[in-house]
Amino acid sequence: MNPLVTVENLSIDYGRQNPVHAVRNVSLTIQEDEFVGLVGESGCGKSTLGFAIARLERPPAQIVSGRIQIAGQDWMTLSPEKMRQARWDTLAVVLQSGMNALNPIMTIGAQFHDVMEQHGKTGRAAIEQRAVEVLDMVQIRPEVLRRYPHELSGGMKQRIAIALSLVLNPKLVIMDEPTTALDMVVQRQILENLKALRRQQPFAMLFISHDLGLVLELADEVVVMYAGEIVERQRSRTMLDQAWHPYTQALIRSLPDPENPKGSYAGIPGSPPDLHTIPNACMYAPRCPLVQEACKSSLPPLESLADVDLRCLVMQEEVPHVVKTST
Ligand SMILES: Nc1ncnc2c1ncn2[C@@H]1O[C@H](COP(=O)(O)OP(=O)(O)OP(=O)(O)O)[C@@H](O)[C@H]1O
Ligand SMILES: [Mg+2]
């Protein structure tokens, strides 16, 4: 089966003069109904990548190379008209500031009607029924359909934005920290609802988050970015026990201890590199406890090993599987 999403060697810069090379050479596939979590420290390029996959990148961001295919369509050459259509039917995006995406001068109900009517859904009752159904998924009562955004809390608006993104049954939902405005209990509940919902009505999800703990628990696959590159990808089931990249290992060490959630936990020493000049070296080398000379003189490729994709010269020797391919 072809993947739903295929991203090949995607690179994105900010600016033309002295650009920030925010995303470099990213290749990624997402299968139909797969839930992929994308994690990494602030500034590693998660949102830049998520936006570009939806072709919502705006200047100064520009895709400098690479390919994006979604549901068999070349996402790089789609006409603006087709793109507008596809953006709701094929793919929906919930942004970090999703709650601000709601129109302040329309009731919530009118916004559901608008989106559905623009995409050929007719019949007031049917539209309302579908709106109530998706609102229920995020635990919002139908009464809000008569309300305006300013009458609602931030958390409610965020959940409504999630519901709105689901209303046309997209094949792929990209969520960028959609739940940071919500308290932890509500956040977990919504994600669990979404997961349950995906069993009845499958869609693929690219879920962008700082919270590796949450992603490990809920996603099928975890993709870890560091300084604009993918450094590791593996099944969430196996990652907690066996993270290979030293950066992933550091992220896992810095997870709060479930036995002592309020205790202090280790941050990762050092800070991410400047992305104006990319050295011919592993980007993590300056912070890596396992660094060797070779790491400082060549950029390790992302090796696709049996159960993990890994960008690390040192640890790839340790993975007890045959090398299949490299990119
Ligand atoms: N408009 C911009 N102009 C220049 N550089 C930018 C711009 N927006 C983002 N960047 C840079 O691109 C890199 C990636 O940023 P991005 O917002 O994608 O990271 P992120 O992983 O989503 O971070 P966060 O977790 O904080 O949301 C960062 O180094 C950032 O400084
Ligand atoms: Mg971001």
> In the prediction, which pLDDT does 327 show?
55
Which pairs count as long-range contacts for 282-289, CB under 8 Å and 24+ apart, including other chains?
Answer: 282/311, 282/312, 282/313, 283/226, 283/227, 283/228, 283/229, 284/226, 284/227, 284/231, 284/245, 284/246, 284/247, 284/312, 287/247, 287/250, 288/246, 288/247, 289/246
Which pairs count as long-range contacts for 282-286, CB under 8 Å and 24+ apart, including other chains?
Answer: 282/311, 282/312, 282/313, 283/226, 283/227, 283/228, 283/229, 284/226, 284/227, 284/231, 284/245, 284/246, 284/247, 284/312
Question: What does DSSP say about strands 20-30 and 5-14: parallel, antiparallel, or unpaired?
Answer: antiparallel
> In the prediction, which pLDDT does 87 show?
83
Classify domain 5-90+170-326 at the CATH topology level.
Rossmann fold (3.40.50)
> In the prediction, which pLDDT does 326 show?
54
- Our measurement of the distance from residue 189's CA atom to the centroid of its chain's CA atoms, rounded to an integer in Å, reads 19
Alpha carbon of 45 to ligand 1 centroid (Å): 6
Nearest CA to ligand 1 atom 1: 60
**Residues in a beta bridge with 30:** 5
Alpha carbon of 23 to ligand 1 centroid (Å): 9
Alpha carbon of 179 to ligand 1 centroid (Å): 19
Residues 25, 77: Cα–Cα separation, whole Å:
19
51 lines ligand 1 (CB under 6 A): no
Which residue among 13, 16, 47, 63 is best mutated to probe the pocket of ligand 1, counting the most ligand atoms within 8 A of its Cβ? 47
> In the prediction, which pLDDT does 97 show?
66
Domain borders along the chain are 5-90+170-326
Residue 286 buriedness (CB in 10 A; 0-12 / 13-18 / 19+): middle
Alpha carbon of 38 to ligand 2 centroid (Å): 10
Alpha carbon of 171 to ligand 1 centroid (Å): 26
Which pairs count as long-range contacts for 14-23, CB under 8 Å and 24+ apart, including other chains?
Answer: 14/48, 14/60, 14/61, 14/62, 15/60, 16/60, 16/62, 18/276, 19/276, 20/275, 20/276, 21/228, 21/275, 21/276, 21/278, 22/48, 22/61, 22/228, 22/275, 23/48, 23/49, 23/52, 23/228, 23/229
Q: What is the CA radius of gyration of the chain?
A: 21
> In the prediction, which pLDDT does 185 show?
73
Residues 109, 206: Cα–Cα separation, whole Å:
27
Which residue among 11, 44, 64 is best mutated to probe the pocket of ligand 1, counting the most ligand atoms within 8 A of its Cβ? 44
Which of helix, strand or coil describes residue 320? Answer: coil
Instruction: Kindly list the averaged pLDDT for each block of 10 residues, start to end, along the chain of length 327.
Output: 94 97 97 95 95 94 97 93 85 76 93 93 94 90 96 87 91 82 71 79 90 91 98 96 96 83 71 96 97 96 93 92 54
Alpha carbon of 61 to ligand 1 centroid (Å): 10
Helix (H) or strand (E) holding 205: strand 204-209
> In the prediction, which pLDDT does 221 show?
97
219 lines ligand 1 (CB under 6 A): no
Which residue among 13, 16, 20 is best mutated to probe the pocket of ligand 1, counting the most ligand atoms within 8 A of its Cβ? 20
